A and B are shown apart, each in its own frame.
Chain A
Amino acid sequence: MRAALLIAAKDLRQRLRDWSVLVFTLVLPLGLGLVFSLVLGGVTSGDDVFRYAVVNEDGGPVAAVFTDRVLPAAAEGGAITVRTAASRDEALRLVGSGEVTAFFVLPAGFSARVEAGQAAAVEVVGDVDAPLGTGVARSLAGSFTERLTSVRVAVAAALRSGSTRDPAALAAEAAAVPDRLRAVEEPASRRELDATTYYAAGMSVFFLFFTVQFGVTSLLDERRSGTLARLLASPVRPSSVLLGKLITSVVVGTAGTAVLVAATTVLMGARWGHPLGVAVLVLTGVLAATGTVAVVASLARTSEQAGAWQAVVAISLGALGGAFFPVAQVGGPLAAISLVSPHRWFLRGLADLAGGDVLAVLPAAGALTAFALVAFGVAALLGRREVRR
């Protein structure tokens, strides 16, 4: 163990003098996380990236639900800002001048049609240069009209079955029925990370797979420079050399991620969750990343080859695991396949932590530990052969 620590201390001293470590550990993850957060994170970050106007040509009670309850509720959550426009022309002018991203139109007769059980639509007109904001507006309008559709169907069904009651009263009654599906979804929505945190974490775990390379791949550098022969000619076991390299990777990865957690919290407003839970996830994530790159390094002949292969593995696992976009939300086979990526478990662990207590990270931490154990086992078998060759 003493020899392993000496080797790790030497490696760390070398890494501290190597600016590329700083770039991969801090500069790139912070920069890219910030960019992703700015581009995609406005929805939940509370800024006014998505600014909307609403034109209420109807003035009826159902339209009022949208203008007075749905939109203010969304704005209160910090996702959007909403202003009222007197007419379509004014709203178009606002879009044209860039003051709003899109606008909603509640056409005349909207409420009456809903109350009569007839088809009704909320129109959305968006800036052609702001597809994301327009898409969010469509989603807002869509979720409202879906709810109205269920009410409309209920009213229509009642009238067809011979009910003589007032359609408006029927609509009010249908709308009052509790939505069981929504009751199920609520806990899930609480377990989602906000965009800033998601991309800060995504970039952190993505670049973690690069930063831990500096320890493991240095074994190949030592072979090339001849220092590995000198290490092995010293009274130390080959396993101590391997352990020293792994310790270096774990220390660099853990320190780098810890700094990123702090920096993204302060600079970007990321909310990582309970420190203990985050620490458990970071440590197990670092171990999984170190094990994965150790396997790749064990198969490579040179550090350049290892670097290239590790980049491919890091990018593939990162994309699959949702470091760039939330793959899990796509659902289907891709979401299932993404579970083979440590990135996916790291992000899932953080989401679980956001929705629960510290213990909620245990399944993800367990999966990451399993990744690490399997990878270390394979790397140890290959690596011992490598240092003894």
Chain B
Amino acid sequence: MTTDTPRVLSCRGLRKRFDDVTAVDDVSFTIAAGETYGLLGPNGAGKTTIISMVAGILRSDAGQVLVEGVPVSTRTTEPKGRIGYVPQEPALYPDLTGRENLRFFARLQGLSRDATARRVAHVLDVVGLADRADDRVGHYSGGMRQRLHLGVGLLHEPALLVLDEPTAGVDPQSRNAIVDDIRDLARGGLAILYTTHYMEEAERLCDRVGVIDAGRLVAEGTRRELVALLAEKDRISLSVDGDLARAEEAAKRIPSVLGAAARGNDLDLLVHDARQCLPGVLSTLAEEDVHVRAVEVDEPDLETVFLHLTGRALRG
């Protein structure tokens, strides 16, 4: 993402209190077109409250939400048509069919009858439910409901897709399918705001991550930027055949390798960015006739980042 990429969502100084509890405290962030931004935090951190204010269903006490430069609030209607909102629970009508659900929400978004028919057919294809479109949603599996639920948010071709923990309570297979769908949508230029407390998902999907704790945005950046906050190094463990001492010396000559130590048949390397320097390490060792049997990379993850920033585990 470059600085020239247009901002689809701008949140500035968002605050929300419920009685004596500050749910969201001065949160600001932006999302560009084609960018997936993850709000990472434990349950109760304020993610859903932020999402609700972005979607225009909860009034903020202070601050502003702009979607494509247009302010969003509970009183506005026009900018809501630019947002595809996918709440946490499958918000569908179980006694209507999948097609009837989609048709209703499409019409509610202001689509004409023709456009509705076209978009409903397209979305059913995208979420893989075309063959079950005329079954009642009450007869769908959890994964199918979740996919249809996601599809509702895409009906009106929004500029911003807001997803509130879309994989919560979903089986691993459906979760993978949903994550793949979201990644495809981002590639298509959609700006995505995504909340999760699954660190792996955030790492897999999000271009940037905002770490939320007790209603505050305590850190923000790419995964690499966040990990850099820890000042921790990546570790590469190599199981090798050949002259281990020679391999160690060769590894130490690689500029990105900060340290190397032979241990039994293994060679442990300390590096800044394991993913970036691994190809160079492997080719250097090959040149030294050292055969690498297995590679293990140990890099600080967002879980570690969260622990470092908040003193608490992400999933407590």
Binding site for B on A (CB under 8 A): 3, 6-7, 10, 13-14, 17-18, 225-227, 229-238, 388
Contacts and interface: CB of A to CB of B under 8 A. Distances in A.
Contact of A233 (B83, B96, B110): B83
A226 B91 contact: yes
Contacts of B57: 229, 232-233
A10 B87 contact: no
A7 B96 CA distance: 13
The 5 A-B residue pairs with the shortest CB-CB distance, nearest first, are A226-B91, A233-B85, A235-B77, A230-B91, A235-B81
Interface in B168-217: none
11 contacts: A10-B96, A13-B100, A225-B92, A226-B87, A230-B105, A232-B56, A232-B57, A234-B81, A235-B108, A238-B74, A388-B59
B107 interface: yes
Given A14-B95, A226-B89, A230-B91, 5 more contacts: A10-B104, A13-B96, A227-B91, A227-B92, A233-B85
Nearest to A234: B108
A230 B85 contact: yes
- Please report whether the interface of chain B is mostly helix, strand, loop or mixed according to DSSP: loop
A236 B108 CA distance: 8
A388 B107 CA distance: 22
Contacts of B89: 225-226
A17 B108 CA distance: 21
Contacts of B55: 229, 233
B109 A234 contact: yes
Interface in B108-144: 108-110
A235 B78 contact: yes
B91 A236 contact: no
A14 B93 contact: yes
A232 B88 CA distance: 15
B49 interface: no
A349 B110 CA distance: 43
B90 interface: yes
B80 A235 contact: yes
B152 interface: yes
B167 interface: no
B10 interface: no
A164 to B, nearest CB: 90
B123 to A, nearest CB: 15
Contacts of A13: 96, 100
B108 A229 contact: no
B36 interface: no
A382 to B, nearest CB: 17
Nearest to B59: A388
B108 A232 contact: no
Interface string B30-65: 000000000000000000000010011101000000
Most chain B beta-carbon neighbours within 10 Å: one of A17, A18, A229, A231: A229
Contacts of B56: 232-233
Nearest to A14: B95
A3 B59 CA distance: 22
B108 A231 contact: yes
A233 B79 CA distance: 10
B88 A6 contact: no
A165 B105 CA distance: 93
A230 B87 CA distance: 7
B116 to A, nearest CB: 11
B74 A6 contact: no
Nearest to B80: A235
Nearest to A15: B95
A225 B59 CA distance: 21
A231 to B, nearest CB: 7
Contacts of A14: 93, 95-96
A13 B95 CA distance: 9
Contacts of A18: 95
A273 B72 CA distance: 54
Contact of A6 (B85, B95, B104, B152): B104
A230 B152 contact: yes
A7 B90 CA distance: 18
Given A230-B85, A232-B74, A17 B95 contact: yes
A377 to B, nearest CB: 21
Interface centre among B74, B78, B88 (most CB of A within 10 A): B74
B88 to A, nearest CB: 7
